[in-house]
Structure 1
Amino acid sequence: MTDLTHDNTASVEPASGASRLQQAGVVGAVALIIILGAIWIARDQGAGQLGQGGVNSALLPSVGEPAPEFMTLYADGEIMRLSELEGQPVWLNFWGAWCAPCRAEMPELQEAWQILEPQGVKMIGVSLRENPLESVAYADLVGATFPIAADPNFLAAVADPDAFPDLFETAETWEIRNFPTHVFIDADGIVRSVILSQMDTETAVAEGEALLERAAQP
């Protein structure tokens, strides 16, 4: 029978000061390794530019370089290829109806598009990480009339890779992780500006008109 009146708990000697220091040293060394590893990964992935898009800055096409092919479908089912728009300044807006900053800037973008579109800037709102029907429904709800295009990844999940290789290449090449993201491409197909934040009308118009000025240069 167990004697409930007897204390069978083994006494535990407190760790010595030297032992505690050794334990603290091991924990500190492990923490330092983790921190240094995180810094190395962050630098490798472009997170040194946090506040300016961070990782996404390293993944997107570089300013001053040709924009890679981008293929998707417009909301009406028509195929959209960036290469077919060469000769015309292009503004790609990557957004989602689920994204609060994207929703907040929508009226500003609509106003900017109404100014820039008659001047020849092609704006396309590419909705990501959602069913394109949801994107169109939201755009209609807020009165956005600029062209809406579907997420290439959404389409790649159901498309034939042999029939639409450009679609799968787009899904792999254009890694959008910051919302909203705005990419301004000149008439020669060169990326001239990448903005990884919410924009107002004035900023958007200035970016678009800078593309038009380049197009007007001999």
Structure 2
Amino acid sequence: MSEKKKRRHLLRTIILVILTAAVVYTLYANFTKDKHEKIAVGDQAPDFVLMDMEGNKHKLSDYKGKGVFLNFWATWCKPCEREMPYMDNQYQAFKDHGVEILAVNVGQPEFSIKKFVQKHDLSFPILKDSNKDVMGVYDIYNLPATILINPEGKIVEIIEGELPEEKIIAMMESIKP
């Protein structure tokens, strides 16, 4: 076989291997993409562990037996900022009735979060999702977003967008044990 034919044969073999690898990868990606399904009402809430601003760990499953108002937010989000005082009012009203608020800040520096919390004098736990991992697990793309979790740990409502205080009151009532 001539040198030219050997090179052409080698080049064709390399191209065939690359195309085969691409097809295998595409098939694998398509068959495994549904392993991470979007959360839905009625599902068990995915468990997570996040640190709060004081360095305390919060594990969602530790709140079983309580209703959880899980809120995803950021300091730059104006609707988030408007609903925070309402959430704090209702946290004060419901915290002794078995309802917790866990406010998950997504991907912001601690300095910005602390400044925001102090400005609004917030008293509920502020959790840090620095890498946006929990945000991803809960399929959150728009802020603010709120997930209501009943005392059994099931998702009962998923809401995107700003909440007026009346709606927050009704939501807290709906997850009260």
Q: So what's the TM-score if we normalise by structure 2?
A: 0.73
In 2, the alpha carbon distance for the partners of 1:183 and 1:171 equals: 11
Shift of 1:106: 1.6
Count of residues paired in the alignment: 141
Superposed CA deviations along residues 179-216 of structure 1, whole A, max 9, x for unmatched, are: 0001110110000111111011111111111111xx3x
Letter in 1 for 2:170: A
Find the partner of 2:54 among 72, 76, 94.
Answer: 76
Alignment of 1:1-218 (within 5 A): 61-153=39-131, 170=134, 172-212=136-176, 215=177
Superposed CA deviations along residues 151-185 of structure 1, whole A, max 9, x for unmatched, are: 1516xxxxxxxxxxxxx6x4652332110001110
Superposed CA deviations along residues 50-87 of structure 1, whole A, max 9, x for unmatched, are: xxxxxxxxx75211110011221111111111111111
In terms of fraction of residues, the more strand-rich structure is 2
Cα 1:81–1:207 change in 2 (3 A) is: same
Contact 1:126/1:148 (CA < 8 Å) preserved in 2?
A: yes
Residue ranges of structure 2 left out of the alignment (5+ in a row):
1-36
**RMSD of aligned residue pairs (Cα, Å):** 1.8
Q: So what's the TM-score if we normalise by structure 1?
A: 0.60
Cα 1:60–1:131 change in 2 (3 A) is: farther
Q: Percent identity?
A: 28
Letter in 1 for 2:39: P
Contact 1:180/1:197 (CA < 8 Å) preserved in 2?
A: yes
Letter in 2 for 1:193: E
Which ranges of 4 or more aligned residues in structure 1 deviate by more than 3 Å? none
Letter in 1 for 2:116: Y
Shift of 1:136: 2.3
In 2, the alpha carbon distance for the partners of 1:67 and 1:91 equals: 12
Instruction: Kindly indicate whether structure 1 or structure 2 has the higher relative contact order, using CA contacts under 8 Å at least 6 residues apart.
Output: 2
Letter in 2 for 1:117: K
